[in-house]
Amino acid sequence: MQRLETEFEAGMQPMEVWHQAKLHYIGLLIDHHQPELAETFFNSVTTKILHRTYFHNDFIFVRPAVSTEYIENDEPGATPTYRSYYPTRETLRENIERIVHNFRLALPFEDLRRDTANVLDAVEARLGDTRLRANFRVQVLSSLFYRNKGAYVVGKIINGFGELPFAWPILHTKEGALFIDACLFGEDELQMLFSFARAYFMVDMEIPSAYVQFLRSLMPRKPRAEIYNALGLAKQGKTLFYRDFLQHLRHSSDKFRIAPGIKGMVMLVFDLPSFPYVFKLIKDHYPPQKDTTREQIQGKYLLVKQHDRVGRMADTLEYSEVAFDRSRFGDELLDEIRKFAPSQLEIGDRDGDGQEEVVIKHLYIERRMIPLNIYLQEAFDAGAREQIERAVLEYGNAIKDLVAANIFPGDMLWKNFGVTRNGKVVFYDYDEIEYLTDCNFRKIPAPRNEEEEMSGEVWYKVGPRDVFPESFEPFLLGNPAVREVFMKHHADLLDPAFWQSRKERIQAGHVHDVFPYEREKRFARQPRDEVEHA
């Protein structure tokens, strides 16, 4: 970009030059294996130079110009996107072993025959007595999906008109040998594996669009933008998300509103009822108890972006200079933004055509969830005791998974957690998170005299990162039904010793493993390593 600005006086060139530059660039993409990523790169450069009034398809790739359908690497010896296997009932086991061998892993397996037998049992249990049709085959993506200490084989079984997605997590023992830990089946289990609340995969892909197309066949309800994000291509994920958003705006008429729920002290949140995401902007001023700055808050969101989210922290998309049609904003929402974040708001005439637009200077966008406090209140109103128990159990598990990832959530109130479509509890308020190892967990000192005991103020010294877990109780456990479940399953969260022991284990170099499937999914093996599961 700097070279463009210096050598070509980028800001002084007539717009026809920029239009011709885009057309020439399109010509370079004809035989490109990753044209969608190249288009996003073009947008990243030009949007930093051009004024936003030129952010339309004549000058940037608002719409894709080159199709990503059926792109293949036709060079001799090139690895295909996926491999197909054609087993019979009798040869299914040897084909499972062949699938594993084709990845050419350098480390030996602890007992590959045992593992393939476990996979075979799981596959046969799913197939049951189903007749194998003439087209019966197994398709497997050619690259493994790496995340944390695991690598995942991802594919699908095709039989007649049915397709069964699957994934096999490959882990390693303490001695360095490999083993297949489980066999995951179906769209829901793969959705958990590729969840927006988990860290991105590392995948060696020659043609990303082909991988995305294959994964969409396994998870048709998952937006392509989220799949690109899960594959570590966040820029492309942002591009596709914004295209989907613009398309939604064209085909909807409802207005943005202040998001339901308890208002935050640091973030102003609004949403569009017909769109399953929320929009968050940082306020200009905070109450005295929030000792923070805009830069610090942005740093917390970046920390979450780069950290292992262990299925418990929602991914965010970050945008700048986002323009909306003024007619989609109600006066109440605009007044709220003017009051709490005036520096982030600009309202003006778009292109001098008399149409007003609202521009938000800096914005985070997250998947919309049901706030946990609202979810619990609905359960209280309906007398749904099972729903209450499941939510409270999940809440405590979410905190413990965050602890395993060296994250202290800071503000643990119910309103800062949400419930996903699959019933998982996910944390989404990041302005107070800290590394667990940076916190000092203390027991509340006993009062030394009657005056201290009766004092309404904190009479003992508190450091900037001191945490008193006993103090969580009054804020979290006011409802007797909630208290009963919490004390049954998660009373240890009120004990400083729990937090301190986890902190010391992390400081000693212990790395907890939290995998995206239940412990019951694991295959039996001897010896059995201790592995924690979400």
**423-443 pLDDT per residue, tens:** 899 999 999 999 999 999 999
Instruction: Convert the pLDDT of each residue in 186-205 to its tens digit.
Output: 999 999 999 999 999 999 99
Burial class (CB in 10 A: 0-12, 13-18, 19+), 204: exposed
Average pLDDT, the chain: 91
pLDDT at 370 over 90: yes
Instruction: Convert the pLDDT of each residue in 48-92 to its tens digit.
Output: 888 878 888 989 999 999 999 999 888 888 899 999 999 999 999
Tokens 């699938």 sit at which residue?
Answer: 99
pLDDT at 357 over 80: yes
Catalytic residues: 315
Instruction: Output the pTM of the full model.
Output: 0.91
Q: Residue 74: what pLDDT?
A: 82
Q: Residue 532: what pLDDT?
A: 42
| Greatest mean pLDDT range, 83-87, 352-356, 384-388, 457-461 | 83-87
In 3D space, the residue among 120, 252, 108 whose CA is nearest the CA of residue 179 turns out to be 108
Q: Residue 452: what pLDDT?
A: 61
**Which residues, other chains included, contact 60 with Cβ-Cβ below 8 Å and sequence gap of 6+?**
22, 42, 43, 46, 47, 50, 54
pLDDT at 533 over 50: no
pLDDT at 239 over 90: yes
Of the two residues 514 and 83, the one the predictor is more confident about is 83
- All structural domains of the chain with their residue ranges: 2-54, 82-244, 252-368, 389-521
Q: What percent of the chain has pLDDT over 70?
A: 94
> What is the CB-side half-sphere exposure of residue 424 using CA atoms within 13 A?
26
Q: Residue 11: what pLDDT?
A: 57
477-513 CB burial, b ≥16 within 10 A, e <16? bebeebeebbeeebeebbebebbbebbeebeeeeebb
Position 52: which residue type? Answer: R
Instruction: Convert the pLDDT of each residue in 126-176 to its tens digit.
Output: 999 999 999 999 999 999 999 988 999 999 999 999 999 999 999 999 899
Three-state SS at 172: strand
Q: What percent of the chain has pLDDT over 90?
A: 75
Q: Residue 534: what pLDDT?
A: 38
Instruction: Convert the pLDDT of each residue in 19-38 to its tens digit.
Output: 999 999 999 999 999 999 99
Query: How large is the average pLDDT for residues 105-130?
Result: 95
**Under a CB-based contact definition with an 8 Å cutoff, are residues 223 and 240 in contact?**
yes
Tokens 């035989």 sit at which residue?
Answer: 31
Of the two residues 181 and 533, the one the predictor is more confident about is 181
Burial class (CB in 10 A: 0-12, 13-18, 19+), 11: exposed
